[in-house]
């Protein structure tokens, strides 16, 4: 899976999915990231649950917000 995102046309991070992203999943892997660091995955409506479960079972998931909310919040997370 890729965590690369594009500022132009945000697309779902799920493998093989080319749908427009609607959700931002903010996550952190404590083994490789400092606590305040946030990686982001994008998800369409269909994959939000799948991707958040993937991160959730590993204890990585920090936040799930809509893309509009995320951008208006002006987060400094990696993109």
Residues that bind Zn ion (CB under 5 A): 12, 14, 17, 19, 44, 47
Give 43's strand partners. 23
Angle (CA) 62-67-68 rounded to 5° is 125
State the minimum distance, in angstroms, from the CB of residue 25 to Zn ion. Answer: 12
Minimum CB–partner distance for residue 30 and Zn ion (Å): 26
- CB neighbour class for 75 (10 Å; exposed up to 12, middle 13-18, buried from 19): middle
Q: Closest separation between CB of residue 22 and Zn ion, Å?
A: 9
* Closer to Zn ion by Cβ: residue 14 or 77: 14
């Amino acid at each position: 899976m890729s965590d690369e995102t594009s500022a132009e046309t945000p697309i779902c991070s799920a493998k093989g999915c080319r749908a427009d992203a609607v959700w931002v999943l903010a996550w952190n892997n404590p083994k490789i990231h400092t606590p305040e660091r946030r990686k982001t995955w994008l998800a369409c409506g269909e994959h939000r649950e799948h991707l958040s479960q993937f991160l959730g079972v590993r204890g990585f998931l920090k936040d799930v917000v809509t893309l509009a909310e995320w951008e208006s919040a002006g987060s400094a997370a990696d993109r």
